[in-house]
């Protein structure tokens, strides 16, 4: 096979593979997206393609990688085209997506990115930069003014490295040119992600100058969103599957599940795409939806990832096939998480929980526990600790949540239950490993060591003896009997 997916080879792929139905050459870029990863390509870009197919050609995407050129290098020879493979036990379906018209790498030419963000056609700048991309303290949501990228961007505003740095410099240029601001649309798995973006961007703008800070705080919309779609990392086997199906080479397809959800607060500065054509839902307040998803899906997913990895399960579906793990998650969702959620009138929460468990069981998705376990120090505060705080306030038990938290602590130590090394990917990896090694296998010392992490636990949780007791007890079981037996005890 010598041909590669491109505009020229689109006509050669099988007719039952969906593809762009709009004239890409006649489409304007209206969205600059920071964080050109697999999730964006399987989620927001798919919904945007539906808008473009519907006839509104003002919303093409320019995707910006803030770190690595890998995605750009894969997509540029394909004219920005790529395949979304939707996999389930009932079979696969494929769609070629062409909504991403340009691919940029910020470190190579930050001026090119800034100039594009400052053009009149750009009306939305969206983000999937993960929790760590906000350069904030996860426990408080405040800008980390000592973050190396923030320090750099204050000293070199015309050559930023961070997402806040790019956003603020581009907004500054628009203000100077008399242009309206763009909307900053966070699509990351953060509680109140729009408010988090507003907080860090406004704080950074204020550091740049009082007038700019006031402009950002007063004029720039930061709608919150809730995003949901499982997107495992692409493997060579996935590439081979897509290439065989399409009959052309494909460097970087994305694999995903049939389910997709996007809830967006309808607050934009200068128009927006009709993403309802791609299944999105516009609401006045996204918080109840976001909290439901963050706690039920993401909290359960992380719990399954840490405990499942420790027990030797490579993928989510393998862990879910282990009956005690499935039972633990079902009980945690129903008894510990669901009672902390506000009512969503007309929404069947029990059906949503059942759907989540079924999605986790999807055997066609090889979603690795190791992938979900990345960046735990950034994710745990939002996915588990908020729920634990609410359970403490209500005076209710949280033994399964505590076991998930203990699973993260054991995982972050860098050694699995067979003595092997865990490749821990986390901004705080070295510090977490050092804390773990100093504490050893003493549950009390290990709990004390990790509870000293103000950035993760804040000031309130370490001072609560109920959390300390629950965490020590969960760590004791993991250390003494291992993850599989500890899970069975709590299922």
Residues 228, 26: Cα–Cα separation, whole Å: 31
Q: What pLDDT score does 346 carry?
A: 80
**What's the pLDDT tens digit per position in 323-355?**
999 999 999 999 999 999 988 878 899 999 999
Residues 360, 382: Cα–Cα separation, whole Å: 20
Residues 41, 43: Cα–Cα separation, whole Å: 6
Query: Among the listed ranges 290-294, 316-320, 456-460, which one has the minimum average pLDDT value?
Result: 290-294
**What's the pLDDT tens digit per position in 307-317?**
999 999 999 99
H-state helical runs in 361-442: 369-372, 376-380, 386-394, 399-412, 429-439
State the pLDDT confidence band at 241, using cuts at 50, 70 and 90: very high
Q: Is 125 a residue whose pLDDT tops 70?
A: yes
Counting residues of the chain whose pLDDT is more than 90, the rounded percentage is 92
Q: What pLDDT score does 347 carry?
A: 84
State the pLDDT confidence band at 90, using cuts at 50, 70 and 90: confident
* Residue (of 268, 191, 187, 260) closest to 225 by Cα position: 187
Angle at 34 between CA 29 and CA 36, to 5 degrees: 90
State the pLDDT confidence band at 140, using cuts at 50, 70 and 90: confident
Q: pTM of the full predicted structure?
A: 0.81
Chain position carrying tokens 């969503």:
344
Contact 223, 266 (CB under 8 A): yes
Residues 207, 216: Cα–Cα separation, whole Å: 12
Chain position carrying tokens 């006649």:
26
* Residue (of 289, 473, 287, 316) closest to 398 by Cα position: 473
Q: Which residues contact 209 (CB under 8 A, 6 or more apart)?
A: none
State the pLDDT confidence band at 189, using cuts at 50, 70 and 90: confident
Kindly write down the DSSP assignment for every residue of 16-84, as one continuous string. TSB---S-GGGPPEEEEEE---HHHHHTHHHHHHHHHHTT-TT-EEEEEESS-SHHHHHHGGGTT-EEE
Angle at 362 between CA 356 and CA 367, to 5 degrees: 95
SS3 161: coil
Q: Is 1 a residue whose pLDDT tops 70?
A: no
State the pLDDT confidence band at 250, using cuts at 50, 70 and 90: very high
Residues 337, 328: Cα–Cα separation, whole Å: 12
Q: What pLDDT score does 345 carry?
A: 78
Q: Is 406 a residue whose pLDDT tops 60?
A: yes
> How confident is the model over 92-102, as a mean pLDDT?
97
> Residue ranges per domain, the chain?
7-284, 287-489
φ, ψ of residue 185 in degrees (nearest 5): -115, 100
Chain position carrying tokens 């949503």:
352
Query: Among the listed ranges 22-26, 249-253, 365-369, which one has the minimum average pLDDT value?
Result: 365-369
Residue of 189 and 62 predicted with greater confidence: 62
Residues 259, 266: Cα–Cα separation, whole Å: 22
**What's the pLDDT tens digit per position in 39-88?**
999 999 999 999 999 999 999 999 999 999 999 999 999 999 999 999 98
Q: What pLDDT score does 123 carry?
A: 98
- Using CB atoms within 10 Å of the CB of residue 441, give its burial: 0 to 12 exposed, 13 to 18 middle, 19+ buried: middle
Largest CA-CA distance found in the chain, in angstroms, rounded: 65
* Residue (of 487, 489, 474) closest to 444 by Cα position: 474
**Mean predicted lDDT score pLDDT of the chain:** 95
Residues shown for the chain: 491
If you count DSSP H runs as helices and E runs as strands, how many of each does the chain have, helices first? 23, 11
Distances (CA, A) of 60 to 98, 102, 120, 283, 349: 9, 9, 14, 23, 35
State the pLDDT confidence band at 236, using cuts at 50, 70 and 90: very high
Pick the CATH number of 287-489 from 1.10.3720.10, 1.10.1040.10, 3.40.50.2000, 3.40.50.720: 1.10.1040.10
Tokens standing for residue 373: 């376990």
* Residue (of 225, 245, 141, 132) closest to 183 by Cα position: 225
| CATH fold label, 7-284 | Rossmann fold (3.40.50)
Contact 202, 216 (CB under 8 A): yes
Cβ atoms < 10 Å from Cβ of 218? 9
State the pLDDT confidence band at 290, using cuts at 50, 70 and 90: confident
């Amino acid at each position: 096979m010598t041909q590669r997916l491109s505009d020229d080879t689109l006509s050669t792929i099988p007719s039952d593979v969906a593809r762009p139905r709009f004239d890409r050459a006649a489409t304007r870029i209206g969205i600059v997206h920071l964080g050109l990863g697999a999730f964006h390509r399987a989620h927001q870009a798919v919904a945007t393609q539906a808008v473009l197919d519907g006839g509104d050609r003002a919303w093409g995407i320019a995707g910006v990688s803030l770190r690595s050129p890998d995605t750009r290098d894969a997509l540029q020879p394909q004219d920005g085209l790529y395949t979304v493979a939707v996999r389930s036990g009932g079979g696969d379906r494929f769609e070629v997506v062409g909504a991403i018209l340009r691919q940029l790498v910020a470190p190579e030419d930050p001026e090119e990115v800034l100039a594009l963000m400052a053009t009149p056609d750009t009306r939305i700048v969206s983000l999937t930069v993960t929790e760590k991309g906000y350069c904030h303290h996860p426990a408080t949501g405040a800008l980390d003014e000592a973050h190396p990228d923030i320090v750099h961007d204050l000293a070199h505003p015309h050559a930023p490295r961070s997402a806040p740095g790019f956003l603020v410099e581009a907004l500054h240029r628009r203000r100077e040119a008399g242009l309206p601001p763009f909307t900053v649309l966070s699509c990351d798995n953060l509680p109140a992600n729009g408010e988090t973006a507003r907080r860090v961007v406004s704080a950074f703008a204020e550091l740049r100058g009082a007038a700019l800070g006031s402009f950002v705080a007063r004029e720039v919309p930061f709608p919150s969103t809730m995003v949901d779609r499982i997107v495992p990392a692409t493997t060579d086997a996935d590439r081979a599957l897509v290439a065989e199906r399409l009959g052309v080479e494909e460097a970087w397809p994305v694999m995903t599940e049939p389910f997709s959800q996007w809830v967006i607060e309808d607050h934009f500065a200068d128009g927006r795409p009709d993403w309802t054509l791609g299944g999105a839902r516009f609401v006045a307040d996204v918080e109840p939806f976001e909290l439901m998803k963050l706690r039920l899906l993401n909290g359960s997913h992380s719990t399954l990832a840490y405990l499942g990895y420790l027990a030797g399960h490579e993928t989510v579906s393998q862990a879910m096939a282990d009956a005690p793990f499935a039972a633990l998650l079902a009980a945690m969702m129903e008894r510990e998480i669901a009672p902390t959620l506000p009512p969503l009138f007309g929404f069947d929460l029990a059906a949503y929980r059942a759907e989540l468990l079924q999605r986790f069981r999807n055997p066609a998705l090889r979603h690795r526990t190791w992938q979900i376990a990345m960046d735990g120090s950034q994710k745990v505060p939002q996915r588990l600790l908020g729920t634990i705080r609410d359970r403490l306030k209500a005076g209710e038990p949280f033994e399964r949540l505590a076991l998930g938290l203990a699973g993260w602590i054991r995982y972050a130590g860098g050694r699995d239950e067979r003595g092997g090394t865990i490749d821990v990917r986390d901004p705080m990896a070295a510090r977490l490993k050092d804390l773990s090694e100093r504490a050893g296998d003493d549950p009390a010392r290990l709990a004390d060591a990790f509870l000293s992490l103000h950035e993760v636990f804040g000031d309130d949780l370490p001072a609560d003896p109920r959390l300390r007791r629950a965490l020590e007890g969960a760590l004791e079981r993991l250390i003494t009997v291992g993850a599989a037996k500890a899970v069975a005890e709590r299922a």
